[in-house]
Amino acid sequence: MEKEREILLKVDSLFMRYGIKSVTMDDISRELGISKKTLYQYVENKSDLINKVIQEHLISEKEIISKICKESIDPIDEMLAIARYVALMLREMNPSIVYDLQKYYSKSWEMMQSLHEDHIYEVIKRNIQKGIEEGLYRQNLNPEIIAKFYVGKSMILVDERIFPIRKYNREQLFLEFINYHIHGIASEKGLALLEKRMRENK
């Protein structure tokens, strides 16, 4: 299992740099320094490899976000830390990844969307509940509805019809989205803290 995880993490890095469609199984075996025969001991084909890479990527993402949530000082600090992590990931990600998944590996894309949405929904719902309890978010919010709004709106960011990649930078889009989200739910106390955190992070 450890060897398989090592392979998947390396392939994830390859996909992030070059996209998915342009990377062949020959490229992968050459980059990993193993034969294709050895590679096929761990995966059935490229589609299976992509599914496993996505699952491994989501496990890693959950671990990172869980660590961020545990180490954050308050809910606004948590949202900003998650935003910095996602922005960094988007900066390092080849822009063609989303397009490749949607066009050529739609089942993998749907699986990733479903797992990602479920996880992010829970993270955001908990964040809103904590923010309300600490007086940083408005008291009249419904955490379940706002968390669903968040998940739904975040999907728009990768919609080529609305935000074509040739025209919009994904990292900048996400940072604008987070700013929009926090300003929509924060109390006066929360907005003051947000301004303080933004000054500290400059």
pLDDT digits (tens, 9 = 90+) for 93-111: 887 888 899 889 998 888 8
Please report how many Cα atoms fall inside a 13 Å half-sphere around the Cα of residue 137, on the Cβ side.
24
| Cβ contact 21:95 at 8 Å | no
In a domain, 144, yes or no: yes
Question: How many domains are contained in the chain?
Answer: 1
Is residue 75, in this structure, part of any structural domain at all? yes
The residue-averaged pLDDT of 157-165 equals: 86
Residue 23 placed within a domain: no
pTM of the model: 0.86
Query: Residue 157 and residue 66: Cα distance in Å, rounded?
Result: 23
**Is 175 a member of any domain?**
yes
Residue 113 domain-assigned? yes
25-75 confidence digits (pLDDT tens): 999 999 999 999 999 999 999 999 999 999 988 888 899 999 999 999 999
In a domain, 4, yes or no: no
CATH of the domain at 122: 1.10.357.10
Q: What is the span of the domain harbouring residue 168?
A: 51-200
